[in-house]
Structure 1
Amino acid sequence: MSVTAQSVWNNCLSFIKDNIQPQAYKTWFEPIVAVKLTDQALSIQVPSKFFYEWLEEHYVKILKVALTKELGEDAKLVYVIKMENTYGNKQPFTEKIPSTNRPAVKSQDVDIPLNNKSPELKNPFIIPGIRNVKIESQLNPNYNFENFLEGDSNRLARNAGIAVANKPGGTSFNPLLIFGGVGLGKTHLAHAIGVDIKDKYPEKTVLYISAEKFTQQYIDSVKKNNRNDFIHFYQIIDVLIIDDVQFFSGKSGTQDVFFHIFNHLHQNGKQVILTSDKAPVDMQDIEQRLLSRFKWGLSAELQTPDFETRVSILKNKLYRDGVEMPEDIIEYVAKNIKTNVRELEGAIISLIAQSSFNRKEITLSLAKDIVEKFVKNTKREVSIDYIQKVVSDYFQMDVSTLQSKTRKRHIVQARQLAMFFAKKYTKASLASIGSQIGKRDHATVLHACKTVDNLSSTDKQFRKYVEDLAKKLSL
């Protein structure tokens, strides 16, 4: 029986099928076509360059074993890449790439029948049945720079956003990663940048999407076997805004596809804007190569607004809603609701609603009632100051002792526990935790967290400290 490219490849597939997950086999090996066998070099056709990169990165070992088994130690693999050029020239083309770590095979004239029909570019945002090629930006025009008030807590991020909006893809802020806790305005600022770009550059394709929706679209594209259409769609975006990018944690397929999309956009001078509830250094289960891309541009933190900024936010909100309110009431609300902008605006809306529905005058007494109920009903966000106080009280020491430079064992352990719980219960970055707990650096906080984890599993008494404090802090 004569050995053909197909028979060799079929034998390789049998071996591969027995050694990987069925879904992975269906996704990454079924679409491959064996096209030519020359001596000990097998040429296989794959659907795209992305496909080839994935195989080389994830399955190169099993491919080498399977091929060596069939063709001997001198076996070589050549990829013939079929790519749909969707940006003008409608004819598909092929590219021959020898597999990495193997000698190149001189490309012969290979007559590979290719489908001349150019596939339609799939837009995940188009509703089926409606023939509409326009990509809607998914931006909310109510989120703009005018109502995103500047303060010490957000000055860097806001100014970087304005610079990006003036020159998308043309600044060193690419990507621009905006990070911070809940309700501090990350989504608002991301939309504001997109809205401003659309105003200044109407011809640019701007797209806002949550990381969760992006992931779902990717999963759907895998199921429908149109992954390449998904990638091509995102590669034509001029300004891509992805909200809550920490959602990619632990999702290796989504991270990989985003890595390729990101590289294409960045290399072509397109702008990428990301938001996250954590700084890149604090993100867990995100591949190192992707984290390094996040750090290429600027990471700007949104912090809790100070009292003056909170007063300005409330005044701006009241002005936009056409409501007048006495200065002492505005200041009372600003003093008592400190955690985030969303809660601040929520409290003022509740106050206006109570006043108008019950036909009551807005008084300081009414404001106290509303704020008290609002703070009680809103899930309390534990602050680093509160954690330090709870830990200090538990170990019967002052907060100043906890923060001191002393190396006494019981004080060091108390300080490490405060850092551990600050990382667990707050959205603050490691650097921010360190600076607030005795002016330490982020490496000290990281070491403290590891020490607490280790001691919890080996020291019974220490484990009791952790359990007692966890109960106190979760009340």
Structure 2
Amino acid sequence: MMSNSGKHQQHTSDKPFLILKEHQYAYTAVSELFHAIESPDPQLVYLYGPSGCGKTALISDLLTDFVEIHAEAALKIVTASEFAAKFAAASNRNRIPEFQRTFRELDLLILEDIQSLENRTQTQRELLSVLDEILKSEGRVVISSTKPPGELARFDKKLVNRFHGGICVAISPLKYQSRLELLTFWANLEQIPIQKKELSLIAHKKELSPRELYAMLMQLQTVSRINQQRIDTSFVKQYLEGNIEGPKTSVAKITKAVCREFKTSLAEIRSANRSQQIVLPRQCAMFLSRELTDESLAKIANYFNRKNHSTVIHACRHIQHGLEKSPGLRQQISRIKQQLGVYLL
């Protein structure tokens, strides 16, 4: 999600962002924060909404403008979990002053998924100090969350007050008309031969987030190509009802897709390496292999050179628990499924 480029760490957006009715207030708030030449008032924007509603894409779309306007600005984009991990690592290595300089001297801090800091008292206190220093120096802050500030459990009251001191903007789930507009936009962008009537059938899936709608549209295209069928009303209805089989995959294909997402090698992921950088992608590969293939636990374990299939069971439980807690992990799993052309309703 992040890459270093000089003084900047930028999101990379793989597709253009369409400003929908549900995004307009949030888009305006972040735009004014980023476009202000002098220190804006307020200096903090807090965006909240369900996972996949477009918070990250919205920020990414406007970040390019900020970099062009404020070419010398120091900025950093991190998830709250990454912030906590960096703080813990600095504490263990007695490098707290270095950590503090890294964050407190920023002109722009974008901190995603703040709800993951619930019940992390020390990290919250450090974040409060970071925010106070950035705001005191006329810097800017964007916070994203799945919850409004008042619903953050076990959070320092002073930190919550800082959030309330900025602009708090909700991004609501898309209504039918916006879902249809978004699907039409993506179908044109990806040159998918599908008519408005068929897109309307998909748009009625109101429980799906924008990210999930995109994944569904792309898989529909893949399935139509595999089955050599036009994407007409009958085909879309059968697909939505689960009567058309999606693309096949395998443990090997899944593992390669996981390696691309986590930027690791096939040899490492199948090795005995137990470092966290390898364990997490390995567990993701095991989890997806169990979910997307008919292979037995024993065969999946064997592919990863594990003697006992209980390792796979543990991996599946660990990732399932992580998906319930971490929007970042859900995004990674979603991107891997998109690579594979797989989307499960």
TM-score normalised by the chain length of structure 2:
0.66
The corresponding residue for 2:234 is 365
Query: 2:7, 2:72 within 8 Å by CA — same for their partners in 1?
Result: no
1:227 deviation in Å?
0.5
Cα distance in structure 1, aligned partners of 2:141 and 2:26:
15
Output aligned runs, 1:101-140, within 5 Å: 134-140=6-12
1:276 to 145, 154, 157: 145
Gaps of at least 5 residues in structure 2 are 247-323, 325-345
* 3-state DSSP of counterpart to 2:242: helix
- Flag the 1:308–1:168 CA change in 2: closer, same or farther, 3 A: farther
Task: Give CA deviations for 1:214-245 in whole Å, capped at 9, x if unaligned.
Answer: 11000000001000100011122111000001
1:147 and 2:17 aligned: yes
Q: Deviations along 1:296-328, whole A, 9 cap, x unmatched? A: 111100101111111111111112212231110
Aligned counterpart, 1:335: 204
Q: How far does residue 338 in structure 1 lie from its aligned partner after superposition? A: 3.9
Q: How many angstroms does 1:184 deviate by?
A: 0.5
Question: Is contact 1:139–1:195 with CA below 8 Å preserved after alignment?
Answer: no
Alignment partner of 1:221 out of 66, 90, 100: 90
Structure 1 residues 140 and 257, CA gap change in structure 2 (3 angstroms): same
Quote the offset at 1:353 in angstroms.
0.8
Write the distance in 2 (CA, Å) between the matches of 1:240 and 1:168.
17
**Structure 2: how far apart are the matches of 1:168 and 1:220?**
35
For 2:238 and 2:94, the matched residues in 1 are separated by 57
* Contact 1:210 1:243 (8 Å CA) reproduced: yes
Equivalent pairs, count: 243
Matched ranges for 1:66-81 at <5 A? none
**Contact 1:246–1:278 (CA under 8 A) maintained in structure 2:** yes
- Between structure 1 and structure 2, the one with the greater Rg is 1
Contact 1:255/1:290 (8 A) holds in 2: yes
Distance 1:141 1:343, change over 3 A: closer
Contact 1:184–1:341, Cα closer than 8 Å, also in 2: yes
Partner residue, 1:19: none
The reply to whether residue 265 of structure 1 matches residue 134 of structure 2 is yes
Tell me which amino acid in the other structure corresponds to 2:29. A
Q: 1:317 aligns with which of 160, 178, 186?
A: 186
Conserved in 2, the CA contact under 8 Å of 1:347 and 1:371?
Answer: no
What letter corresponds to residue 139 of structure 1 in structure 2? H
Matched with 1:293 is: 162
TM-score with structure 1 setting the length: 0.48
Pairing 1:351–2:182 present: no
The residue matched to 1:154 in structure 2 has which SS?
helix
Quote the Cα distance in structure 2 between the aligned partners of 1:327 and 1:360. Answer: 18
Q: Name 2:73's counterpart in structure 1.
A: 204
Tell me what 1:255 maps to: 124
Is the Cα contact below 8 Å between 2:10 and 2:63 reproduced in 1? no
Would the alpha carbon gap of residues 173 and 344 (structure 1) be closer, same or farther in structure 2, given more than 3 Å must change? farther
Shift of 1:136: 4.0
Would the aligned equivalents of 1:141 and 1:195 in 2 still touch at CA under 8 Å?
A: no
Alpha carbons 1:190, 1:275 under 8 Å: kept: no
- Quick one: which of 175, 193, 196 aligns to 2:44? 175
Residue equivalent to 1:326: 195
Structure 1 residues 253, 313: closer, same or farther in 2, change over 3 A? same
2:142 is paired with a residue whose SS is: strand
Match of 1:194 among 54, 58, 63: 63
Question: Partner of 1:156 in structure 2?
Answer: 25
Contact 1:338 1:344 in 2 (8 A): no
- Aligned partner of residue 241 in structure 2, secondary structure: helix
RMSD: 2.3
Report the Cα distance in structure 2 between the residues aligned to 1:323 and 1:315, rounded to whole angstroms.
10
For the residues of structure 2 that align with 1:373 and 1:227, how far apart are their CA atoms? 53
Give unpaired runs (5+ residues) of structure 1. Answer: 1-124, 127-132, 378-424, 426-475
SS at match of 1:230: helix
CA distance change for structure 1 residues 305 and 314 in 2, over 3 Å: closer, same or farther?
same
Secondary structure, in 3 states, of the residue corresponding to 1:241? Answer: strand
- Letter matched to residue 322 of structure 1: Q
Letter in 1 for 2:12: N
* Relative contact order higher in (CA < 8 Å, ≥ 6 apart): 2
Secondary structure of 1:274's match? strand
Distance 1:249-1:308 versus aligned 2 partners, 3 A rule: same
Matched with 1:420 is none
Tell me if the contact between 2:193 and 2:231 (Cα under 8 Å) persists in the aligned partners: no
**1:239 aligned partner:** 108
Q: In structure 1, the residue corresponding to 2:204 is in which secondary structure?
A: helix
How far off is 1:171 after superposition?
Answer: 2.6
Secondary structure at 2:90 match in 1: helix
Matched, 1:305 2:177: no
SS of residue in 2 equivalent to 1:328 = helix
Query: Normalized per residue, which structure has more helix?
Result: 2
Sequence identity of aligned pairs in percent?
18
- Determine helix, strand or coil for the equivalent of 1:140: coil
User: For the residues of structure 2 that align with 1:202 and 1:318, how far apart are their CA atoms?
Assistant: 35
C-alpha displacement of 1:172: 2.6
1:314-369 Cα shifts (integer Å, max 9, x gaps): 11111221223111001111113443212211211111111122221111122122
